[in-house]
Amino acid sequence: MNRLLILLGVSLLLAACGEGNNAPAPKPDNAPPQNAPACGNIEPKLDTAKAAKLLKQASVKYLAGDKSGAAELLEEALPLDPDNPELLAFTARTMEKLQRYDLARDLYLRASKHVEGKALFNMQTGAAHCSELLAHEQYTAGEYDAAWQSIQPALEGSAVTRDTQMLHGYIQMQRKEYKDAAEGFEAAVGLSNGEQRYEALSWLGQAQYAGKDYQAAIDTFTKLIDQNVEGYEAYGYRAYCEVALENRTAAESDFRQALQRTKDSAKQDEYRNALKALEEAK
């Protein structure tokens, strides 16, 4: 008898959800209200107390190093209190740690709609940082167009960093957008000091050369040379710019300097061949 009742209950449940293969079609006057949620897709009710409890439990797991466990609890809590900036921000931070950058960025932006002042700045900065991390991930994977789309929010933010501008330049170099790449590297130069500045200058000159702005590239590599910077092949790059402008005497002088200074055997062979070609062209 009990077994029969259980089977009957299951059959009624399947019929109610429309999953029974032989369930009769509902009559029009028995149809659910137009705006009623579909069976099996009922939205959870708001429950801020339960959300707060889950947030506290997630914090314990997060501090214990269990980021995945924390994320599960936070994903359960979010629908219960979807406009809670503390919950949104903590979930964003957790997702960022799990390298789920796209979701983390969206959560930071959601949180930013409910705060102001320093908290707003922090949420916007978090979103921009996740945009940069996502772009870097896509750049490393060779997805250059996707990386360019992802980095846009980071470039539009109020706290653009040197690393963001360098990544801007790297992505655009791969996309053969050399003028824009140069703008990124030039911005990075202004945000850099020491070796980082030299690196940004070198890439700026390379972008200018690739974009056929040879005189600008010469000026950039000259800055490296005037500061007696080693390791960036500045003489070699400048020599190629001089070749492009048909300044053969200047090119020959720079290739000789490059040959003397480089420690790269492949570069030494390259510069010898370039000098040979210039000699044969006389």
Distance CA 201, CA 22 (A): 73
pLDDT given for residue 117 in this prediction: 94
pLDDT given for residue 139 in this prediction: 98
> Quick check: is 66 in a domain?
yes
**Residue 17: pLDDT band by 50, 70, 90 thresholds?**
very low
Q: Phi and psi of 261, rounded to 5°?
A: -95, -30
Is the pTM higher than 0.85? The answer reads no
CB 124 within 8 A of CB 108: yes
Residue 144 has pLDDT above 70, yes or no: yes
**Domain tally, the chain:** 1
How confident is the prediction for the chain on average, in pLDDT?
Answer: 87
> Quick check: is 68 in a domain?
yes
Rounded to 5°, the CA angle 34-40-11 comes to 105
Distance CA 136, CA 29 (A): 57
**Residue 190: pLDDT band by 50, 70, 90 thresholds?**
very high
> Quick check: is 2 in a domain?
no
Q: What are the Cα distances from residue 94, in Å, to 62, 97, 233?
A: 8, 5, 43
> Quick check: is 115 in a domain?
yes
Task: Provide the CATH number for the domain around residue 90.
Answer: 1.25.40.10
Q: What are the Cα distances from residue 25, in Å, to 8, 13, 209?
A: 18, 14, 72
Helix axes 214-226, 194-210, angle to 10 degrees: 160
> Quick check: is 273 in a domain?
no
CB 29 within 8 A of CB 40: no
In terms of residue numbers, what domain contains 87? 46-142
The number of beta carbons lying within 10 Å of the beta carbon of residue 31 is 9
In this predicted model, what pLDDT tens digit does every residue of 244-276 receive, in sequence order?
A: 999 999 999 999 999 999 999 999 999 999 999
> Quick check: is 114 in a domain?
yes
In this predicted model, what pLDDT tens digit does every residue of 212-247 receive, in sequence order?
A: 999 999 999 999 999 999 899 999 999 999 999 999
CB 160 within 8 A of CB 135: no
> Quick check: is 70 in a domain?
yes
Q: What is the CA radius of gyration of the chain?
A: 30
Residue 4 has pLDDT above 50, yes or no: no
> Quick check: is 79 in a domain?
yes
Output 143 or 229, whichever has higher pLDDT: 143
Taking the chain, what is the end-to-end CA distance rounded to the nearest angstrom?
107
